[in-house]
Every structure is written in structure tokens, then in C-alpha cells.
């Protein structure tokens, strides 16, 4: 329902009440009630508008996360191909490198960022998925020994947890 129709309906409902209020001795009381009713309706509509706008942005962010989650294995495969190639001067290697960097740029433009991890960082179950446990005298308890798969975030939410080996 568009705004003009809502206003017409409100006017049709309020006009008879206002006319009746002018004829009664307690017209100020009736006017105050109608003013309060009008303010409450306006506030309710404003809250509805804000809530739907917030939900719209949340759905957009969910869609971005869902689409990027499906694309991350493709980026992993590009990186595996780059690591497997021995001749770094080959034009095929350079082409795959350009495609991988372009995909990283697109993800960055969408707000998707790689979680920066290095061996020796503390394990955090909110961002990491421990898939193996290793003994290493050089690392302390609960420190990351090796990153097996990169993790990614979109804004505050994790798209994919980083798969890591945890020491001791």
C-alpha cells in the first residue's frame, strides 16, 4: 500500500473523530488522544521501515557470504596449481597468477578477507578448526604448527574456518 492511500485511510478514520471531538466538552482530551495515536502510528511505521532496511542489508550480506563460500575452493585450486608449477617464467603460470590475483581482488571488493595466520599464533576455536595435533618442542601449548587451509571472513562473520595443526 503506498503512502497516499495510507494517509487517506488515516484521514477517513480520524476526521469523523475530530468532528465529534469539537462538539463535545472534552475536545482537548480527545485531541490529545488522537495526537498520541497519530504519533504512535508514525513511530511504528518508522520502526518498521528501519527494521526492513536492516533485514535487507542482512540478506545481502548472507548472499555475499554464501556465494563466496562456493568460490573459495576455486581460489584454493588456483593456489595449488601455482605451487605445483616449477617454471615460474612460463606464460601459463603468469596467466594463472593473474586470474588468482583478480579473484582475490573481487573477493576483497566484496569485503571478504583472508584470516592472517602464521605458525606460532595462538589457536582460537572461533576462527580455527584443529584437524591434527602434533608434538613440537619449538611451539608452546595451543599454538598453530601449520596452516592447512586458509580461513576467510566477511565483515565480522567467518565464511570458512582455517584448518590448522595445533602443537602439543
The span from the CA of 92 to the CA of 103, in Å, is 17
For position 121, what pLDDT does the model report?
A: 93
The span from the CA of 22 to the CA of 18, in Å, is 6
Which cell is 105 given?
A: 581482488
Q: 136: pLDDT confidence band, cut at 50, 70 and 90?
A: confident
The span from the CA of 39 to the CA of 86, in Å, is 72
Rounded to whole angstroms, what are the CA distances from 146 to 142, 163, 164? 12, 9, 6
The span from the CA of 129 to the CA of 48, in Å, is 39
For position 24, what pLDDT does the model report?
A: 62
Pairing of strands 144-149, 162-167: antiparallel
For residue 150, which of 165, 164, 139, 131 has the smallest C-alpha distance? 164
Separation of first and last alpha carbons in the chain: 63
Q: Which CATH superfamily is domain 114-168 in?
A: Head domain of nucleotide exchange factor GrpE (2.30.22.10)
Q: 12: pLDDT confidence band, cut at 50, 70 and 90?
A: low
Which cell is 117 given?
A: 595466520
pLDDT digit string, tens, across residues 21-30: 455 668 889 9
For position 15, what pLDDT does the model report?
A: 55
Which cell is 48 given?
A: 518498521
Amino acid at each position: 500500500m503506498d503512502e497516499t492511500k495510507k494517509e487517506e485511510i488515516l484521514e477517513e478514520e480520524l476526521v469523523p473523530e475530530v468532528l465529534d471531538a469539537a462538539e463535545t466538552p472534552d475536545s482537548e482530551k480527545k485531541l490529545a488522544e488522537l495526537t498520541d495515536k497519530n504519533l504512535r502510528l508514525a513511530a511504528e511505521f518508522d520502526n518498521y521501515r528501519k527494521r526492513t532496511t536492516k533485514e535487507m542489508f542482512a540478506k545481502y550480506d548472507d548472499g555475499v557470504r554464501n556465494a563466496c563460500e562456493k568460490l573459495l575452493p576455486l581460489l584454493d585450486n588456483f593456489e595449488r596449481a601455482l605451487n605445483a608449477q616449477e617454471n615460474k617464467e612460463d606464460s601459463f603460470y603468469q596467466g594463472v597468477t593473474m586470474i588468482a590475483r583478480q579473484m582475490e581482488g573481487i573477493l576483497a571488493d566484496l569485503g571478504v578477507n583472508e584470516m592472517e595466520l602464521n605458525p606460532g599464533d595462538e589457536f582460537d576455536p572461533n576462527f580455527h578448526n584443529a584437524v591434527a595435533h602434533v608434538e613440537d618442542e619449538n611451539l608452546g601449548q595451543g599454538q598453530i604448527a601449520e596452516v592447512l587451509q586458509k580461513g576467510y571472513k566477511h565483515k565480522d562473520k567467518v565464511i570458512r574456518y582455517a584448518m590448522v595443526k595445533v602443537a602439543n
